[in-house]
Amino acid sequence: MTFALHPSSLPAVLSPVLTPFTANGNVDHQRLLKHCQWLAANGVGHALFGTNSEANSMSVRQKMDALTKLIEGGLDPAHIMPGTGANAIDAAVNMTNHALAHHCAAVLMIPPFYYKDISDDGLFAYFSEVIQKVGNSALQLYFYNIPPVTKITLSLALLDRLVRAYPKTIVGMKDSSGDWSYTESVIKLLAPHGFRVYAGNEAFLLRTMKAGGAGCISATVNMNPKAIAKLAAHWEDADAAEQQVGLDRVRSVFDKHQMITGMKTALAFFSKDPDWLRVRPPLMQLSGDQQGQLMGELKAIHFDMPGL
C-alpha cells in the first residue's frame, strides 16, 4: 500500500473537552469557550464531543450549536476535531457536514456501538455509507476505538481495508483500548503510510511517540495540558522518561475516581466556579467526602491549574 502522507494542522495533543452545563441541562457556551481558550493557551487542540464531553448525554442539535458558538467565539477550527459518530448514519452525516461547514481540521468517529458482535463487513458498510453520504473531499476522518465502552474492536484487517478503500479520507485514529500491543500494531501497520495514531491515555504518550505515533487525546489533558504538550514536543529529550513519570503521577490521582466528575471537581476548585460541578444524569457529582479526598490527593502532589 503506497500513498502520500497526510498533512495535518492538528497538534500532537488534543483535549477531549469537558462540557459545562447550565442548571437546565443546556450547554454553557460561555464557560465552554473559556475552557477551550485556556486549553489552547497551554498548547493543545480540541477533541470536542467525545466520552469526557458527555457527548452521548447531548442531542445532535446541542453539539452542532456548541461547535458554532465556539468558532464564532474565535476558536481556531484548524485545531478542532469534533466527535461526529452516532449509531444512526444520518446523525453522523449531519454532524460531520456541520463540522466541515465550519472548516474543522478533522472529525473523530466512534463506531456504531449499540449492536454487539458486529462483523467487519457491517462496520465497513457503516463507515463507507457515512463517507459516501457526506461526499466531501475535505473530510479527514479519525476512528475512535474505545472497546471498553463500545465492546467493539476495530480489527487490523478492517482498518487496513478501510484505509485502502478511502486513503485520502481515513487518516488516523484515537486508540482508547488501553492495550499497548494493539496500539503498537496499528502504528507499525499504518503509520508508515501517513495514518496518525493518537493514544487515548497520556500514560502511553512516550511509547506512542517513540513508535511513530502522532500524540495523544486523553481525558486529563483537560487538567494538565501544558506538561502533556511539553512531553509530546520533547519526547526525545534526556528527561523524557522523567516527564512521563510526572504525567503518570497526576493521571493516577484522577484514575481513582469517576473520571468526568473528578475532573469537573478539580476544575470547579481551581477556577473557583462551582457551576463546573454539574454533570448530566446518569452521572452524579462526587460526594463531599469524595471531593475532599480528590483535592487532598492533588494537593499532596502539588498540582495546580494556573491561568484559569
Residues 6 or more apart whose Cβ sits within 8 Å of residue 300: none
Whole-number Å distance between alpha carbons of 43 and 216: 13
Give 279's Cβ-side CA count (13 Å radius).
23
Smallest CA-to-CA distance from 66 within 102, 23, 90, 106 is with 102
- Map residue 152 onto helix, strand or coil: coil
Torsion 68-74-78-81 (CA) sign: negative
**209: exposed, middle or buried (C-beta count within 10 Å: 0-12, 13-18, 19+)?**
buried
- DSSP-derived letter for residue 286 is P
> SS3 helix, strand, coil % of the chain, rounded to 5?
50, 10, 40
User: Is there a binding annotation on residue 217?
Assistant: yes
Q: Which of the following is catalytic: 63, 126, 174, 230? A: 174
| Residue where the block lists cell 456504531 | 112
Residues 6 or more apart whose Cβ sits within 8 Å of residue 45: 10, 11, 13, 14, 15, 39, 79, 80, 81, 105
Beta bridge partners of 147: none
174 has catalytic annotation: yes
126 has catalytic annotation: no
**Residue 30: how many other CB atoms lie within 10 Å:** 12
Torsion 13-46-91-55 (CA) sign: positive
Q: Which of the following is catalytic: 142, 144, 198, 230? A: 144
Whole-number Å distance between alpha carbons of 200 and 171: 16
Q: Which residues are catalytic?
A: 144, 174
Annotated binding site for pyruvate: 217
Annotated binding site: 217
